Amino acid sequence: MNKRNRGGNFSSILFVCYGNTCRSPMAEGLAKKILGDRVHIESAGLTPVFDGATPQAINVLLEMYGIDISSHRTKNITDVPLDEFDQIIVLDVYVYETLLRRYSILSYKFVLWDIEDPFGKDLDAFKKTAASLHSKIK
């Protein structure tokens, strides 16, 4: 999984947010649709509490992009082989700083995208987050 594909692009990307229920599963779903199977994509959370994506995240991706993430199951960052990913995209400053402290040896793989967490907010917040993620991935 560590190999880069032609053109210097990454062949494996991990998206990480706090709970792996909103931003990172949406990013995973969007990236899989946009990048296809030429890139291995997963997501994980720093502290997952729930199992699966939130209903709002599922509904927004389905409505806006025709992407079904209803089968998503949350993963803890400790259960993912971080060293096997070419790039680890971290979706907020708190999680980024925590990962830098815990996994400083892998810091060269970390990229910060400071995307607002829509958890506990209205549907418009989820739509804004999805649009931000879509824009970054494209």
Neighbours of 60 (CB within 10 A): 26
Count of domains forming the chain: 1
Residue 24 forms part of a structural domain:
yes
How far is the C-alpha of 125 from the C-alpha of 130, rounded, in Å? 9
pLDDT tens, position by position, 59-105: 999 999 999 999 999 999 999 999 999 999 999 999 999 999 999 99
> H or E segment at 17?
strand 12-17
Q: Which of 22, 86, 92, 117 is catalytic?
A: 117
The region that residue 105 occupies, defined by phi over 0 for left and psi between -120 and 50 for alpha, beta otherwise, is alpha
Q: Which of 3, 82, 5, 84 is nearest to 38 (CA)?
A: 5
pTM of the complete model: 0.92
Query: What is the CATH number for 116?
Result: 3.40.50.2300
Whether 55 shows a pLDDT value over 60: the answer reads yes
pLDDT at 47 over 80: yes
Amino acid type, 112: L
- How many whole angstroms separate alpha carbon 100 and alpha carbon 84? 17
Burial of residue 59, with CB atoms counted within 10 A of its CB: 0-12 exposed, 13-18 middle, 19 or more buried: middle
Task: Identify the residue with better confidence: 3 or 123.
Answer: 123
In a domain, 105, yes or no: yes
pLDDT: is 14 or 6 the higher one?
14
Written as six digits, the tokens of 2 are 């560590």
Is 17 among the residues known to form the active site?
yes
> Catalytic pick from 17, 22, 86, 92?
17
What pLDDT digit, counting tens, does each position of 99-138 carry? 999 999 999 999 999 999 999 999 999 999 999 999 999 9
List residues bridging with 43 in a β-sheet. 15
Task: Copy the structure tokens of residue 69.
Answer: 């993430």
Look at residue 9 in the predicted model and tell me its pLDDT.
60
Q: What is the pLDDT of residue 127?
A: 98
Q: Does residue 119 lie in a domain region?
A: yes
Domain that holds residue 116: 6-137
In the residue annotation, 22 being an active-site residue is answered as no
Q: Which two tokens stand for residue 34?
A: 């946009």
Average pLDDT over residues 38-54: 95
Identify the burial level of 62 via C-beta atoms within 10 angstroms of its C-beta, where 0-12 means exposed, 13-18 middle and 19 or more buried: middle
Query: Does any domain span residue 1?
Result: no
The pLDDT assigned to 3 comes to 41
Our answer to whether residue 23 is catalytic in this structure is: yes
